[in-house]
Protein backbone atom coordinates (compact mmCIF):
# COMPACT_ATOMS: atom_id res chain seq x y z
CA UNK A 1 0.00 0.00 0.00
CA UNK A 2 1.19 3.52 -0.84
CA UNK A 3 1.54 5.60 2.34
CA UNK A 4 0.52 9.23 1.96
CA UNK A 5 2.63 11.50 4.12
CA UNK A 6 2.88 15.22 4.60
CA UNK A 7 5.57 15.66 7.18
CA UNK A 8 8.95 14.22 7.95
CA UNK A 9 7.89 13.46 11.53
CA UNK A 10 5.74 10.62 10.24
CA UNK A 11 8.82 8.79 9.00
CA UNK A 12 9.56 7.13 12.31
CA UNK A 13 11.16 4.05 10.78
CA UNK A 14 13.44 5.64 8.17
CA UNK A 15 16.47 7.84 8.62
CA UNK A 16 16.19 10.97 6.45
CA UNK A 17 18.43 14.01 6.17
CA UNK A 18 18.34 17.68 7.09
CA UNK A 19 19.05 19.86 4.06
CA UNK A 20 19.50 23.63 4.15
CA UNK A 21 17.91 25.81 1.47
CA UNK A 22 20.20 27.06 -1.28
CA UNK A 23 18.30 29.82 -3.04
CA UNK A 24 20.95 31.02 -5.51
CA UNK A 25 19.58 30.27 -8.96
CA UNK A 26 22.08 30.03 -11.82
CA UNK A 27 19.75 29.25 -14.74
CA UNK A 28 16.08 30.04 -15.03
CA UNK A 29 14.30 26.94 -16.23
CA UNK A 30 10.69 25.92 -16.31
CA UNK A 31 10.05 23.37 -13.59
CA UNK A 32 13.01 24.74 -11.61
CA UNK A 33 12.92 23.41 -8.05
CA UNK A 34 15.21 25.97 -6.38
CA UNK A 35 12.71 27.28 -3.81
CA UNK A 36 11.79 23.89 -2.40
CA UNK A 37 14.74 21.69 -3.44
CA UNK A 38 15.74 21.41 0.24
CA UNK A 39 12.28 20.03 1.10
CA UNK A 40 12.56 17.40 -1.63
CA UNK A 41 16.09 16.47 -0.57
CA UNK A 42 14.95 16.18 3.06
CA UNK A 43 13.13 13.01 2.01
CA UNK A 44 16.28 11.46 0.57
CA UNK A 45 17.89 8.67 2.61
CA UNK A 46 20.50 9.79 5.16
CA UNK A 47 23.14 7.69 3.40
CA UNK A 48 23.73 6.72 -0.21
CA UNK A 49 26.73 6.05 -2.43
CA UNK A 50 26.40 7.98 -5.72
CA UNK A 51 23.62 10.48 -6.42
CA UNK A 52 22.11 10.39 -9.94
CA UNK A 53 19.91 13.10 -11.43
CA UNK A 54 18.80 12.00 -14.94
CA UNK A 55 16.52 15.04 -15.69
CA UNK A 56 18.93 17.70 -14.52
CA UNK A 57 17.39 20.88 -16.00
CA UNK A 58 18.74 23.80 -13.98
CA UNK A 59 20.22 21.45 -11.38
CA UNK A 60 18.44 22.96 -8.36
CA UNK A 61 18.22 19.74 -6.35
CA UNK A 62 21.78 18.68 -7.17
CA UNK A 63 23.26 22.01 -6.04
CA UNK A 64 21.12 22.13 -2.90
CA UNK A 65 22.08 18.61 -1.90
CA UNK A 66 25.72 19.14 -2.88
CA UNK A 67 26.60 15.43 -2.77
CA UNK A 68 30.21 14.18 -2.55
CA UNK A 69 29.75 11.94 -5.59
CA UNK A 70 27.17 12.59 -8.31
CA UNK A 71 26.11 12.19 -11.92
CA UNK A 72 23.93 14.92 -13.46
CA UNK A 73 22.48 14.35 -16.92
CA UNK A 74 19.92 15.71 -19.35
CA UNK A 75 19.08 14.91 -22.94
CA UNK A 76 19.20 18.55 -24.11
CA UNK A 77 22.67 19.27 -25.61
CA UNK A 78 22.81 23.11 -25.25
CA UNK A 79 21.90 22.77 -21.58
CA UNK A 80 24.54 20.14 -20.90
CA UNK A 81 27.12 22.29 -22.70
CA UNK A 82 26.56 24.87 -19.93
CA UNK A 83 27.05 22.33 -17.12
CA UNK A 84 30.08 20.67 -18.67
CA UNK A 85 31.74 24.05 -19.30
CA UNK A 86 30.89 25.30 -15.81
CA UNK A 87 32.83 22.41 -14.42
CA UNK A 88 35.82 22.41 -16.76
CA UNK A 89 36.22 26.12 -17.43
CA UNK A 90 34.05 28.48 -15.30
CA UNK A 91 35.94 31.53 -16.65
CA UNK A 92 34.62 30.69 -20.08
CA UNK A 93 31.04 30.67 -18.77
CA UNK A 94 31.61 34.12 -17.30
CA UNK A 95 33.01 35.27 -20.64
CA UNK A 96 29.90 33.93 -22.43
CA UNK A 97 27.73 35.95 -20.08
CA UNK A 98 29.79 39.15 -20.33
CA UNK A 99 29.82 39.09 -24.15
CA UNK A 100 26.07 38.69 -24.39
CA UNK A 101 25.44 41.27 -21.67
CA UNK A 102 27.25 43.77 -23.92
CA UNK A 103 25.20 42.72 -26.96
CA UNK A 104 22.00 43.03 -24.90
CA UNK A 105 22.77 46.67 -24.05
CA UNK A 106 24.28 47.55 -27.44
CA UNK A 107 20.81 48.34 -28.84
CA UNK A 108 17.46 49.56 -27.50
CA UNK A 109 15.49 46.73 -25.93
CA UNK A 110 14.56 44.18 -27.25
CA UNK A 111 16.88 44.30 -30.27
CA UNK A 112 20.04 43.15 -28.46
CA UNK A 113 18.06 40.27 -26.92
CA UNK A 114 16.64 39.37 -30.35
CA UNK A 115 20.18 39.17 -31.78
CA UNK A 116 21.14 36.62 -29.13
CA UNK A 117 17.92 34.70 -29.72
CA UNK A 118 18.58 34.62 -33.49
CA UNK A 119 22.09 33.39 -32.87
CA UNK A 120 20.70 30.59 -30.66
CA UNK A 121 18.02 29.66 -33.19
CA UNK A 122 20.53 29.60 -36.06
CA UNK A 123 22.71 27.18 -34.10
CA UNK A 124 21.50 26.05 -30.62
CA UNK A 125 24.36 26.43 -28.13
CA UNK A 126 25.00 26.71 -24.41
CA UNK A 127 26.46 30.23 -24.45
CA UNK A 128 23.33 31.85 -25.92
CA UNK A 129 20.98 29.62 -23.94
CA UNK A 130 22.62 30.68 -20.68
CA UNK A 131 22.00 34.38 -21.34
CA UNK A 132 18.52 33.84 -22.80
CA UNK A 133 17.47 31.84 -19.74
CA UNK A 134 18.45 34.78 -17.51
CA UNK A 135 16.90 37.50 -19.67
CA UNK A 136 13.80 36.02 -21.34
CA UNK A 137 10.26 36.85 -20.32
CA UNK A 138 9.34 35.25 -16.98
CA UNK A 139 12.43 33.05 -17.09
CA UNK A 140 10.38 30.60 -19.15
CA UNK A 141 12.56 29.32 -21.99
CA UNK A 142 10.09 27.84 -24.47
CA UNK A 143 10.82 25.88 -27.63
CA UNK A 144 8.63 25.11 -30.62
CA UNK A 145 7.95 21.41 -30.72
CA UNK A 146 8.38 20.97 -34.49
CA UNK A 147 11.92 22.36 -34.78
CA UNK A 148 13.17 23.43 -31.32
CA UNK A 149 12.88 27.16 -32.17
CA UNK A 150 13.29 29.22 -28.96
CA UNK A 151 10.29 31.56 -28.95
CA UNK A 152 10.23 33.45 -25.62
CA UNK A 153 10.29 37.27 -25.94
CA UNK A 154 12.60 39.56 -23.99
CA UNK A 155 11.93 39.88 -20.26
CA UNK A 156 10.92 43.11 -18.52
CA UNK A 157 13.63 42.93 -15.85
CA UNK A 158 17.25 43.94 -16.34
CA UNK A 159 19.58 40.94 -16.57
CA UNK A 160 21.96 40.74 -13.60
CA UNK A 161 25.40 42.34 -14.03
CA UNK A 162 28.41 40.17 -14.93
CA UNK A 163 29.81 40.69 -11.39
CA UNK A 164 26.55 39.47 -9.79
CA UNK A 165 26.58 36.56 -12.23
CA UNK A 166 30.17 35.73 -11.26
CA UNK A 167 29.16 35.39 -7.61
CA UNK A 168 26.50 32.83 -8.52
CA UNK A 169 28.88 31.05 -10.87
CA UNK A 170 31.51 30.58 -8.18
CA UNK A 171 29.04 29.13 -5.71
CA UNK A 172 27.64 26.75 -8.30
CA UNK A 173 31.08 25.72 -9.47
CA UNK A 174 31.99 24.76 -5.91
CA UNK A 175 28.76 22.90 -5.27
CA UNK A 176 28.96 20.83 -8.47
CA UNK A 177 32.68 20.03 -8.49
CA UNK A 178 32.06 16.40 -7.51
CA UNK A 179 29.54 15.83 -10.27
CA UNK A 180 30.07 14.10 -13.60
CA UNK A 181 27.90 15.78 -16.23
CA UNK A 182 26.59 13.75 -19.16
CA UNK A 183 24.34 14.49 -22.11
CA UNK A 184 22.16 11.42 -22.46
CA UNK A 185 18.69 9.93 -22.21
CA UNK A 186 17.39 9.17 -18.72
CA UNK A 187 17.39 5.43 -19.32
CA UNK A 188 21.18 5.36 -19.77
CA UNK A 189 21.64 7.40 -16.59
CA UNK A 190 19.31 5.34 -14.41
CA UNK A 191 20.89 2.12 -15.69
CA UNK A 192 24.27 3.35 -14.38
CA UNK A 193 23.01 3.33 -10.77
CA UNK A 194 23.96 0.39 -8.57
CA UNK A 195 22.97 -0.97 -5.15
CA UNK A 196 23.13 1.74 -2.47
CA UNK A 197 22.91 4.62 -4.97
CA UNK A 198 20.15 7.22 -5.07
CA UNK A 199 18.33 8.42 -8.19
CA UNK A 200 16.17 11.55 -8.15
CA UNK A 201 13.92 11.97 -11.20
CA UNK A 202 12.18 15.20 -12.15
CA UNK A 203 10.81 14.44 -15.63
CA UNK A 204 8.81 16.77 -17.90
CA UNK A 205 5.34 16.74 -16.46
CA UNK A 206 2.52 15.10 -18.27
CA UNK A 207 -0.09 17.76 -17.51
CA UNK A 208 1.56 21.07 -18.31
CA UNK A 209 4.97 20.79 -19.88
CA UNK A 210 4.62 19.07 -23.24
CA UNK A 211 5.51 22.27 -25.16
CA UNK A 212 8.74 22.80 -23.27
CA UNK A 213 12.34 21.61 -23.27
CA UNK A 214 12.82 21.49 -27.02
CA UNK A 215 9.80 19.27 -27.46
CA UNK A 216 11.55 16.00 -26.57
CA UNK A 217 9.17 13.09 -26.36
CA UNK A 218 8.86 11.65 -22.94
CA UNK A 219 7.29 8.35 -21.92
CA UNK A 220 6.24 7.93 -18.31
CA UNK A 221 5.76 4.20 -18.86
CA UNK A 222 9.38 3.80 -19.98
CA UNK A 223 10.49 5.71 -16.90
CA UNK A 224 8.44 3.44 -14.61
CA UNK A 225 10.09 0.36 -16.12
CA UNK A 226 13.56 1.85 -15.53
CA UNK A 227 12.66 2.72 -11.93
CA UNK A 228 11.34 -0.77 -11.36
CA UNK A 229 14.60 -2.33 -12.66
CA UNK A 230 16.65 0.07 -10.53
CA UNK A 231 14.66 -0.80 -7.40
CA UNK A 232 15.33 -4.48 -8.04
CA UNK A 233 19.07 -3.74 -8.17
CA UNK A 234 18.86 -2.11 -4.71
CA UNK A 235 18.82 1.50 -5.92
CA UNK A 236 16.63 3.99 -4.01
CA UNK A 237 14.56 6.20 -6.31
CA UNK A 238 12.65 9.43 -5.65
CA UNK A 239 10.36 10.79 -8.35
CA UNK A 240 8.70 14.21 -8.62
CA UNK A 241 5.48 14.31 -10.60
CA UNK A 242 2.39 16.43 -10.96
CA UNK A 243 0.59 16.66 -7.66
CA UNK A 244 -2.23 19.10 -7.10
CA UNK A 245 -3.16 22.14 -9.18
CA UNK A 246 -5.63 25.00 -8.73
CA UNK A 247 -4.75 25.43 -5.06
CA UNK A 248 -5.43 21.80 -4.19
CA UNK A 249 -8.80 21.54 -5.90
CA UNK A 250 -7.46 19.41 -8.77
CA UNK A 251 -5.44 16.28 -8.00
CA UNK A 252 -3.52 15.18 -11.12
CA UNK A 253 -4.44 11.58 -11.77
CA UNK A 254 -1.65 9.13 -12.50
CA UNK A 255 -1.64 5.41 -13.07
CA UNK A 256 1.25 4.12 -11.00
CA UNK A 257 2.46 0.52 -11.11
CA UNK A 258 1.35 -1.42 -8.02
CA UNK A 259 3.99 -1.83 -5.33
CA UNK A 260 6.68 0.28 -6.99
CA UNK A 261 6.53 3.22 -4.57
CA UNK A 262 6.37 2.99 -0.79
CA UNK A 263 5.39 6.57 -0.02
CA UNK A 264 3.76 9.61 -1.57
CA UNK A 265 4.41 13.09 -0.23
CA UNK A 266 2.88 16.39 -1.38
CA UNK A 267 5.23 19.36 -1.39
CA UNK A 268 3.92 22.89 -1.76
CA UNK A 269 5.52 24.79 -4.68
CA UNK A 270 3.74 28.14 -4.39
CA UNK A 271 2.19 29.70 -7.47
CA UNK A 272 2.57 27.98 -10.84
CA UNK A 273 5.48 29.46 -12.81
CA UNK A 274 3.93 28.56 -16.12
CA UNK A 275 0.57 30.08 -15.19
CA UNK A 276 2.36 33.21 -13.99
CA UNK A 277 3.79 33.50 -17.48
CA UNK A 278 0.45 32.83 -19.15
CA UNK A 279 -1.67 35.07 -16.88
CA UNK A 280 0.44 38.16 -16.50
CA UNK A 281 -1.05 40.64 -14.00
CA UNK A 282 -3.60 38.24 -12.45
CA UNK A 283 -3.43 37.49 -8.70
CA UNK A 284 -3.04 33.71 -9.25
CA UNK A 285 -4.47 33.00 -5.80
CA UNK A 286 -6.24 30.04 -7.41
CA UNK A 287 -3.03 28.75 -9.01
CA UNK A 288 -1.08 27.25 -6.10
CA UNK A 289 0.46 23.93 -7.06
CA UNK A 290 1.73 20.97 -5.09
CA UNK A 291 4.34 18.55 -6.32
CA UNK A 292 4.04 14.86 -5.71
CA UNK A 293 7.16 13.10 -4.47
CA UNK A 294 7.07 9.32 -4.80
CA UNK A 295 9.75 7.26 -3.15
CA UNK A 296 10.64 3.60 -3.50
CA UNK A 297 12.04 3.27 0.06
Ligand X SMILES: C[S@@+](CC[C@H](N)C(=O)[O-])C[C@H]1O[C@@H](n2cnc3c(N)ncnc32)[C@H](O)[C@@H]1O
Interaction site with ligand X (CB under 6 A): 29, 31-33, 54-55, 57-58, 60-61, 74-76, 185-186, 202-204, 213, 216, 218
* Residue closer to ligand X, measured from CB, 218 or 277: 218
* Residue closer to ligand X, measured from CB, 32 or 135: 32
Residue whose Cβ sits closest to ligand X: 57
Question: What is the nearest approach in angstroms of ligand X to the Cβ of residue 101?
Answer: 23
Q: What is the 3-state secondary structure (H, E, C) of the chain?
A: CCEEECCHHHCCCCCECCCCCCCCCCCCCCCCCHHHHHHHHCCCECCCCCEEECCCCCCHHHHHHCCCCEEEEECCHHHHHHHHHHHHCHHHHHHHHHHHHHHHHCCCCCHHHHHHHHHHHHCCCHHHHHHHHHHEHHHCCEECCCCCCECCCECCCCCCCHHHHHHHHHHHHHHCCCEEEEECCHHHHHHHCCCCCEEEECCCCCCCCCCEHHHCCCCHHHHHHHHHHHHHCCCEEEEEEEEEEHHHCEECCCCCCCCCCCEEEEEEEEECHHHHHHCCCCCCCCCEEEEEEEECC
Question: What is the nearest approach in angstroms of ligand X to the Cβ of residue 12?
Answer: 29
Question: What is the nearest approach in angstroms of ligand X to the Cβ of residue 225?
Answer: 13
CA distance 126 to 78: 4
Question: What is the nearest approach in angstroms of ligand X to the Cβ of residue 73?
Answer: 7
Question: What is the nearest approach in angstroms of ligand X to the Cβ of residue 223?
Answer: 8
Question: What is the nearest approach in angstroms of ligand X to the Cβ of residue 182?
Answer: 10
* Residue closer to ligand X, measured from CB, 76 or 288: 76
* Residue closer to ligand X, measured from CB, 31 or 155: 31
* Residue closer to ligand X, measured from CB, 93 or 273: 273
* Residue closer to ligand X, measured from CB, 67 or 204: 204
Amino acid sequence: MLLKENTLDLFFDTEFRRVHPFRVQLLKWIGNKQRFAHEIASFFPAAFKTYYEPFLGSGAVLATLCPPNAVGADVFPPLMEIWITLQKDPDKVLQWYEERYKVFYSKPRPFGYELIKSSYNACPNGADLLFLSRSCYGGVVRFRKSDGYMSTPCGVHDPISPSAFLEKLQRWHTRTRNTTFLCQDFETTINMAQEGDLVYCDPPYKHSQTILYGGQDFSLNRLMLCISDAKERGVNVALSLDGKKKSGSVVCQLHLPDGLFEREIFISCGRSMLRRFQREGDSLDDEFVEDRLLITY
